[in-house]
A and B are shown apart, each in its own frame.
Chain A
Amino acid sequence: MVVEVKNLSKSFGNHIVLDNISLKISEGENFVIFGRSGTGKSVLLKCIVRLLLPDSGEIFIDGQNILNLSEKELNKIRKYIGFVFQSSALYDSMTVKENLEFPLIRNFEFTAEERENKIRSVLEKVDLAGAINKMPAELSGGMKKRIGLARSIITEPKLILYDEPTTGLDPITTKEISHLIVELQKDLNVTAIVVTHDLVCAHIVANHAIVLKDGKIRYEGALGKLTSTDDEFLNDFFDNEYFEDKNGRK
């Protein structure tokens, strides 16, 4: 799926969060969004899927302006969108299995056996096959995160929005999840928008990156070029040994 955002603005009260943002994400791209805490990265993701209504601007998914669609038409598109919430947002009255089944039962016509297989394979991908009958309250934060991710990819979406998919995970799981994102892109040509602070994750997945600051896009381009600018904020933001090292070697 292709996503295009034109002149998007969003404020809460008189607090301007997004100020005239425009961006274009092409099919099969892994698009990474950086920015300090509270700059509106989650708000931007939510606007893109119309969970929040922007104050002005347009959002096109595969050429359709989703702000003008009826609920029914929008849902046709949303069936092919996955959203990984920063807070996991697992349905806490349902088991892991029921969480994963929930969209499958309602939006697609799979047999019980096909659903079983999908659930098993997606749980293996996030390395949590043993958690199938657990309640969300019994899972650790990182486990919830991975189940949330599993729930978003089980419907095989064409566009996935990841809100900090690796925050709170250990370094090994972080790498596994990042490779999973790349794998989905390679195998299924999924378009991914990844909000992250995690440079390891960004290095593995990013084809293209932007940095948000004060409601505007402060930088846009390849990840590797981020520190080669003489922008003070960017140098401060990415002042990370891992990053410099990598750059130096390159």
Chain B
Amino acid sequence: MFESKRYYQLEEKLNEFFIMLGGISAFSIAFFKNVFLPPYEFGEVKKHMDELGVKTLPIVSVTGFIIGLVLAMQSQPVMARFGAESFLPSMVALSVVRELGPVITALIFAGRVSSGIGAELGSMRVTEQIDAMEVSAINPFKFLVVTRVLACVFILPMLTVYVDFIAILGGYAAVALILNMNFQLYVNSLLPSLLFSDVLPGIAKTFFFGFIVGIVGSYKGYMADNGTVGVGKASTSSVVISSLMILVMDMVLVKITLIFWSL
């Protein structure tokens, strides 16, 4: 009896999961259908970008600095063991630019932003504001969803570039403490090892991550029901889903860039 009950729960969960994947795909298609149609709500996009930037800047600054610092501190003894200590600045810069900067920034962004969008749109849904927009002949998807997704897509790469710099600075803080290296030397030793093919894919993938955060948050909010309970659920589940999707997407994109750049 237990077995069968668990089996049904599992089946239900799986069903829900696939329904959600289908919903998110449909939502993405609707995004591309709407994004090129006038009227363009540039003002709204800019307003959301401002909000998102202000909301996430403090936390990504602190995190970025600490990531760089800890990475250098942890790697230094290992690299010293292999006699490769002089590569420490390059190691920090490459790890940050290729992987840690984009992914950590995206995960923090997902935590702060996806839940915010989920809650905002969720409460607009349950208080009938979305219906009000629709009935006054204004496309709520375009006004609410497209503008938020665009804001995420544009702001996350900027944040990532910023976090990359901060993390490299954090790395310097550690290097300066341990190796007594000056800043000039630090920069000079990491710059030559940073290639275009390290920087570009790292930044490029954050466009996808930004898209995921925006779409998942919007989807969860837009589809919310059950009053305030629905709003709470929309905001927490959007964080979980978007973080997971970012990691899966990262795996896929890393594989693709590796193939692409080894041709």
Chain A residues within 8 Å of B, Cβ to Cβ: 46, 49, 51, 71, 75-76, 78-79, 81, 83, 85, 87, 89-93, 102-103, 106-107, 155
Contacts and interface: CB of A to CB of B under 8 A. Distances in A.
Contacts of B137: 75-76, 78-79, 103, 106-107
B135 A87 contact: no
Nearest to B135: A83
A17 B120 CA distance: 30
26 contacts: A46-B131, A51-B131, A78-B135, A78-B136, A78-B137, A79-B136, A79-B137, A83-B132, A83-B135, A85-B131, A87-B128, A89-B127, A89-B128, A89-B129, A90-B132, A91-B124, A91-B129, A91-B133, A92-B123, A92-B124, A92-B127, A103-B137, A103-B138, A106-B138, A107-B136, A107-B137
Interface in B167-220: none
Interface residues of B, number: 16
Q: Which among A76, A81, A83 has the greatest number of chain B C-beta atoms within 10 A? A: A83
Contact of A49 (B39, B124, B128, B135): B135
Nearest to A104: B136
B129 A90 contact: yes
A89 B127 CA distance: 6
B134 interface: yes
Given A87-B127, A92-B129, A51 B138 contact: no
Contacts of B133: 91, 102
A85 B128 contact: yes
Nearest to A51: B131
Q: Which among A76, A89, A107 has the greatest number of chain B C-beta atoms within 10 A? A: A89
Nearest to B41: A106
Interface string B104-141: 00000000000000001001100111011111111100
A107 B137 CA distance: 8
Closest 4 CB pairs of A and B: A78-B137, A89-B128, A89-B132, A75-B137
A155 B39 CA distance: 19
A89 B128 CA distance: 5
Nearest to A52: B131
Contacts of B39: 106
A169 to B, nearest CB: 19
Nearest to A157: B136
A90 B129 CA distance: 6
Contacts of A75: 137, 139
Interface string B139-164: 10000000000000000000000000
A227 B30 CA distance: 52
A89 B123 CA distance: 11
Contacts of B135: 49, 51, 78, 81, 83
